[in-house]
Amino acid sequence: MWGMVHIKVFRLRSVLYYIFIILLLASILIMGYQLISKIHMRNFRESQDGSDQNGNGHQIYLRVFNKIGDPRNILAYQMPFLSGISNNISIETSASRGDSEERLVDAPEIFLKHEPDMSEEIKIEISGIRDDLGTIALTGEGPQILIYHTHSREAYKPDPDNPYKAVEAFRCDDLNYTVVKVGEVLAKHLEARGIPVLHDRTEHEQGDHATAYVRSLKTIQKRMNEYKSLKIFIDLHRNAYREGAKSPDDEVVYINGERVAKLFVVIGTGQGYVGGFSERPNWKENYKFALRLTNKVNELYPGLAKPVYVKPSRYNQHVSTKAILIEVGSNLTTLKEAERAANYLAEAISQIVD
């Protein structure tokens, strides 16, 4: 009798052991699948249209598995606050000192992003770029500047005096409470300074944030066909929400005694994260335009503009040599503070064009 009990206990332990092993292997497979899926989706979003623009599928898989092998990525997946650090180059302007030269920051600004580092080749190229655009002439009939919003639902820090209904963190379906409203203010102030502007309020997210750039490109192309006069293209955004962000006071400057949201320009090289794009921007010319605007903003309003931020994405900036993405404010600033920034941004733009 005791022998039978012993055998049953032994068999039960064996069954439990094998169940444990099966569950462990299943957990590992699920975690691996989730990690690959997460990396693929991030690449899809960051490369803007999710396609292998050069048709190099082999390189995509090599890069994905290289990422998986990086301990930072494995840790970041389990602990998001440890997301990989990108050492993308940043340029600090010296316009606040009364001139228009730029200088390379000795210690590049750190952005907590789960992405590969910018290539050393691009960093070297950036350090050698100077603002030699010459005159930026706006001539002819019709609108000269297109303002649009790829991420049209980006909203700001909730304001008790002007509340909005959030559909998710810092996002709203009512475009009167999002960055689209800031674009409306920017357009109004530019028009008041004699610059014809077309402000496109098309909602490009449409419940699918990942493919918003595909839709905004169609809007740009449509407007370019309608208005041959367009010369400058501004994709206006609110800076993305980041965990562990700084104090709200670090995201504003005081102008005429009022809190004004800081802003900065983002330039995409089109290198891409997983193969790049077959049609890439002339990013150096776009960068020169961004540099001139940043310098002018800080010349007029010291500290209002952060350094130009260069990334491997494209941001539809292949449509022109004067196509830029501007982040006005962040989740730590209010809509009113961002609207004030739009006024001063309009003044800077008016002073760099003829």
**pLDDT confidence of residue 252:** 96
Q: pLDDT at position 1, please? A: 55
Rounded distance between C-alpha atoms, residue 309 and residue 239, angstroms: 12
pTM exceeding the 0.85 threshold for the entire prediction: no
Q: How many CB atoms lie within 10 A of CB 143?
A: 21
85-352 topology per CATH = Aminopeptidase (3.40.630)
Q: Which two tokens stand for residue 325?
A: 């993405």
Residue 66: closest CA among 118, 116, 123, 119: 116
**Beta-ladder partners of 166:** 172
- The pair of three-digit structure tokens given for residue 110, joined into one six-digit string: 């750190």
Mapping DSSP to helix (H, G, I), strand (E, B) and coil, where does residue 50 land? coil
Neighbours of 61 (CB within 10 A): 12
| pLDDT at 21 (0 to 100) | 84
pLDDT of residue 87: 36
The rounded distance, in Å, linking the Cα atoms of 66 and 59 is: 10
Compute and round to an integer the Cα radius of gyration of the chain.
24
DSSP labels for 133-183? ---B---SSS--EEEE-TTTTBB-S--TTS---EEETTEES-GGGBHHHHH
Burial class of residue 325 (count of CB atoms within 10 Å of its CB; 0-12, 13-18, 19+): buried
Instruction: Report the alpha-carbon distance of residue 222 to residue 172 in Å, rounded.
Output: 26
- Residue recorded with tokens 């490369």: 47
**pLDDT given at position 124:** 85
Read off φ and ψ for residue 267, nearest 5 degrees. Answer: -120, 135
pLDDT block averages, 10 residues each, the chain of length 354? 53 77 84 61 46 36 40 36 34 28 28 48 85 83 96 92 86 92 98 96 87 95 96 95 76 96 94 79 95 96 94 94 96 96 97 92
Residue 4: the pLDDT is 53
Q: What is the pLDDT of residue 59?
A: 36
